[in-house]
Amino acid sequence: MKTRVGVIGLGKMGTAIALRLSGQDYAVEAWTRSGVNEVWAQETGVRGHETLAALVANVDVILLSLSDDAAVTSVLEVLIGLDISKRLIVDCSTVNPAVLTSYASRFHGAGAQVLDAPISGWPMMVSKGKCGIYIGGDESDVTRFKPIAEALSDRIVHAGSLGQGMMAKIVNNMMLASYWQSLREALQVGQSGGLSVEKMLEILINSPAANGVLALKAPVIKGAQTPPSFTVSGIVADLTMFNEVSRDAGIDTPTLRAALNNFANHEKTGAGEADFVSMIAAALTNADTETDGVL
């Protein structure tokens, strides 16, 4: 019998996690603050619960996929008051590593195990089992979680102790944010010299300067309106947290701050739900009028 899995949070990523695991023959249960839609639950085979207590009572492993530090903290506060003995609690959210580590001793004292395992990738990548997962925690707990991780991901890394999975994601996504910031600047310089966006992207996609998704994102950079793989608001939230972590560590990160500033400026124009690389398209058409800079 496969492990019973509970998913807390049914945003885009949480929904992708629940559906992927259900499709891999896991018994998946779910809870979300707004309530699980009964029709959706019947159609997908994901069993919804009205309370966290009911969810916890029916599962072995609990996955959190929540929007921010406050949401994770509020759920952890409820969980610590329930019978969580022998449960494995895995936070897949993109939040400050200190959130989960601050609860670790209390969860261990209650007989639960804890991991952080943030997802690297977009919901559609989770749906295909093609995302990355960076795990922080004890080896024995990672072993227990690994079959579930393998159902979700083809790139699993045990980064180290609790909290270091999230730190690994911060490192990875800081590099990605820097890439999009540098691409924006490079295309603006080329455009000022008379190069077309189309020609520059053709050159870059077929050069060492390309990253793994540049070709996929080229239509959006050229102005196409497509369903977002990840939103502007989503990347602003992530970069804001990364900036806080780096600031708390006393590390100056001007490239990160420049990227955050430009994504945040774009969000202010009403583009929060647009694809994140629309920030570059807007810069190339002068749609974002606020001055570049660092926060």
Q: Are residues 67 and 198 in the same domain?
A: no
Residue ranges making up the domain that contains 75: 4-162
Quick one: how many helices (H) and strands (E) in the chain?
14, 9
Query: Which pLDDT score, from 0 to 100, does residue 183 have?
Result: 98
240: CATH: 1.10.1040.10
Same-domain status, 72 and 155? yes
Query: What are the pLDDT digits (tens) for 154-175?
Result: 999 999 999 999 999 999 999 9
Asked whether residue 87 falls in the same domain as residue 195, the answer is no
- Looking from the CA of 273 toward its CB, the CA atoms found within 13 Å total 2
25 and 80 fall within a common domain: yes
Q: Is residue 88 part of a domain?
A: yes
Tell me, what CATH number does 82's domain have?
A: 3.40.50.720
SS3 5: strand
Which SS3 state, helix, strand or coil, does residue 211 take? coil
Residues 187 and 266 in one domain: yes
Percent of the chain with pLDDT over 90: 95
Q: What is the pLDDT of residue 290?
A: 54
pLDDT score, position 286: 82
What's the pLDDT score for residue 127? Answer: 96
Residue 52 resides in a domain:
yes
What is the count of structural domains for the chain? 2
Q: Which residue, 128, 162, 196, sits at the end of a domain?
A: 162
Q: What residues act catalytically?
A: 169
| 290 inside domain | no
Give the burial class of 110: count Cβ atoms within 10 A of its Cβ; 0-12 exposed, 13-18 middle, 19 or more buried: middle
Report whether pLDDT(294) > 90. Answer: no
Same domain, 18 and 80: yes
Would you say residue 71 has pLDDT above 70?
yes
Among 162, 183, 203, identify where a domain stops: 162
pLDDT digits (tens, 9 = 90+) for 109-152: 999 999 999 999 999 999 999 999 999 999 999 999 999 999 99
Q: In the structure, what pLDDT confidence band is assigned to residue 288 with cuts at 50, 70 and 90?
A: low
Residue finishing a domain among 138, 162, 186: 162
158, 171: one domain? no
Q: Is 15 a member of any domain?
A: yes
pLDDT the model gives residue 293 = 53
- What's the number of CA atoms in the CB half-sphere (13 Å) around residue 55? 28
pLDDT band at 186 (very low <50, low <70, confident <90, very high): very high
Average pLDDT, the chain: 95
The predicted pLDDT at position 289 comes to 52
> Global pTM?
0.91
pLDDT confidence of residue 277: 97
Assigned domain for 293 exists: no
Same domain assignment for residues 147 and 218: no
Q: What percent of the chain has pLDDT over 70?
A: 97
Within this chain, do residues 67 and 95 fall inside the same structural domain, yes or no?
yes
